Structure 1
Amino acid sequence: MAPPTQPSIRRAAIAARLSTPRLAPYLSATNGNLRDALRLYDWNVEISGAFYESLHQFEVVLRNALDEELSAWNALQTNPATGAAHSRDWLMDPSHLLLRLTQNDIPKAQQRARSAVRRTGQRGRRPGHSDVLAQLSFGTWRFLLPDNDPGRQLLWQQSLDKAFPLRACTPQDLVKHVDGIHRLRNRIAHLEPLVDSVMVADRLASMRTVAASIDPIAETWIVSRQRITPLLRTKPIPATTPSQP
């Protein structure tokens, strides 16, 4: 049996495996104290997981609210080339405007849905609306919201504004909330540090604001299950002076 290693040796070995660039933000936040930096790294893993749990709930609520309005709006559109009316299924029969605003998102989601169906052994089944919907990224929803693009403004006015019946903020502020959540989601997906507690708390507040604009019951559901707030209270306190491993 190998003799036990000293804590400082173990910390140095872990730090070497994580790499100096990877640990740099944590060492900076803890005044160069490696023990505290590793504790902060572990906390960062926890807070990232907790935020993603809430994001899982939030994204589905946002997605379904927008999907409902897009389905109703798409059914009112006609194909300019044929004059035929589109169906409610905006993912299988999207209008020209939706194809433009989502760029290649819908065809890519359709392809991923076909692959997902094949993986489940259902080769004879064609993917449906819900299959494709599940394959769209958060970015699709973020970039359907209004900006300076006349098409997005039109879609907001005729459709997506109705997805937020209890909205108490301006459309611009709503977009800022969703954009901030989207950016934090990407940070978590790329395993980046979330050592800025104020930023994390602000993004949780954004999720609450947007969810409450859709349905207060959904907002209560998300808040009642979130672990972000208690974890923010357990963030490791940095050492006052630098120390060696």
Structure 2
Amino acid sequence: MGSYEIAAGVVADDDPAALVLYAWNAEVSGALLAPLHVCEVVIRNAVADALEAVYGKSWPWSASFERSLPDPPVGYSPRRDLQGARKYEESAGKVIPELTFVFWQKMFTGRHDARLWAPHLKRVLPGIPIGGTIAERRHAIYSDLEQVRKLRNRIAHHEPIFGRTLSDDYRKIRDLVAYRCAITAEWLHRNQTATKLIHRKPYCAPVTVSDPPAVRHCETLKQ
């Protein structure tokens, strides 16, 4: 509870402020799961759409696609991720949900520009903002997915998220969905509860230079 006690400015053992912040952190984390769910499904479907156009309906078993994936000896390997996901499956539709979020994010790297994104980015993500090169727009998506992935991982591991600018996190989630389908993004927004909870954030102690990182990154609630 240390991070919550510091952020809530607790000075006495009977002060409930840290538990209030803890409860809010858990509640808003749960509320963000639905938007994160929709975002991941939409993005992986968009990537799968482009992959099918280039490598065919059986793209998970395409040798050409497999060779296009990096396979570093240390750390995360998209190639090994694909090999593991397809091992016991018989269709692309079954493989898609077996692949990790980071796999879909890594598809938005420069190595796939020529074959995948130059011909298909605007088709599979028609709502992407106009302006800039394909590489620049693809890189912007990668950066947004990095922010969303970090939020997703903190929630999955029951970590504090009160220090994040959650309104910006939610905006990135909604924008990514809208790049694929504006109607889906509007449906998502109408059916989520995260934004109301974000605006009801409990008090966090004011930031000072000497504060530890947990406090320096905590937003002060705007009354």
Q: TM-score range by the shorter chain?
A: 0.7 to 0.9
Q: Which amino acid aligns with 1:41?
A: Y
What residue is the counterpart of 2:47 in the other structure?
66
What residue is the counterpart of 2:170 in the other structure?
204
What residue is the counterpart of 1:162 in the other structure?
123
Change (3 A) 1:131 1:171: closer
TM alignment of 1:190-201, pairs within 5 A: 190-196=157-163, 199-201=165-167
Distance 2:121 2:80 in 1: 20
Distance 1:205 1:238 in 2: 22
- Indicate if the aligned counterparts of 1:54 and 1:225 stay in contact, CA closer than 8 A: no
- Residue 41 of structure 1: CA displacement? 0.7
What residue is the counterpart of 1:229 in the other structure?
195
What residue is the counterpart of 1:13 in the other structure?
none
Distance 1:54 1:171 in 2: 21
Q: How many residues align?
A: 189
Give ranges in structure 2 of 5+ residues lacking alignment. Answer: 71-77, 131-136, 207-223
- Indicate if the aligned counterparts of 2:28 and 2:198 stay in contact, CA closer than 8 A: yes
What residue is the counterpart of 1:122 in the other structure?
none
- Indicate if the aligned counterparts of 1:73 and 1:159 stay in contact, CA closer than 8 A: no
Does residue 1:132 correspond to 2:132, yes or no?
no
What residue is the counterpart of 1:29 in the other structure?
7
Q: Which amino acid aligns with 2:91?
A: G
Change (3 A) 1:73 1:96: closer
- Residue 239 of structure 1: CA displacement? 7.4
- Indicate if the aligned counterparts of 2:35 and 2:174 stay in contact, CA closer than 8 A: no
Deviates more, 1:172-181 or 1:46-55: 172-181
Change (3 A) 1:238 1:69: closer
**Which structure has the larger Rg over C-alpha atoms?**
1
1:9-42 Cα offsets, whole Å, 9 max, x none, are xxxxxxxxxxxxxx12111111125511111111
Change (3 A) 1:32 1:98: farther
- Indicate if the aligned counterparts of 1:105 and 1:140 stay in contact, CA closer than 8 A: yes
- Residue 137 of structure 1: CA displacement? 1.2
2:141 to 126, 151, 174: 174
Distance 1:229 1:98 in 2: 42
Does residue 1:188 correspond to 2:188, yes or no?
no
What residue is the counterpart of 1:103 in the other structure?
79
Q: Which amino acid aligns with 1:92?
A: W
- Residue 233 of structure 1: CA displacement? 2.1
User: Cα RMSD between the aligned structures?
Assistant: 2.1
Does residue 1:43 correspond to 2:24, yes or no?
yes
Quote the sequence identity (%).
Answer: 29
1:190-223 Cα offsets, whole Å, 9 max, x none, are 11101125x2111110112111111101111111
- Indicate if the aligned counterparts of 2:59 and 2:65 stay in contact, CA closer than 8 A: no
- Indicate if the aligned counterparts of 1:74 and 1:89 stay in contact, CA closer than 8 A: yes
Give ranges in structure 1 of 5+ residues lacking alignment. Answer: 1-22, 76-87, 115-125, 241-245
Distance 2:95 2:185 in 1: 25
Q: TM-score of the superposition, structure 2-length normalised?
A: 0.76
Does residue 1:144 correspond to 2:107, yes or no?
yes
- Residue 65 of structure 1: CA displacement? 1.5
- Indicate if the aligned counterparts of 1:174 and 1:210 stay in contact, CA closer than 8 A: yes
Change (3 A) 1:26 1:59: same
1:87-126 Cα offsets, whole Å, 9 max, x none, are x211133524565243211111123xx3xxxxxxxxxxx6
Q: Secondary structure at the match of 1:47?
A: helix
1:140-196 Cα offsets, whole Å, 9 max, x none, are 11110024xxx2332322334532112106333222211111111111111110112
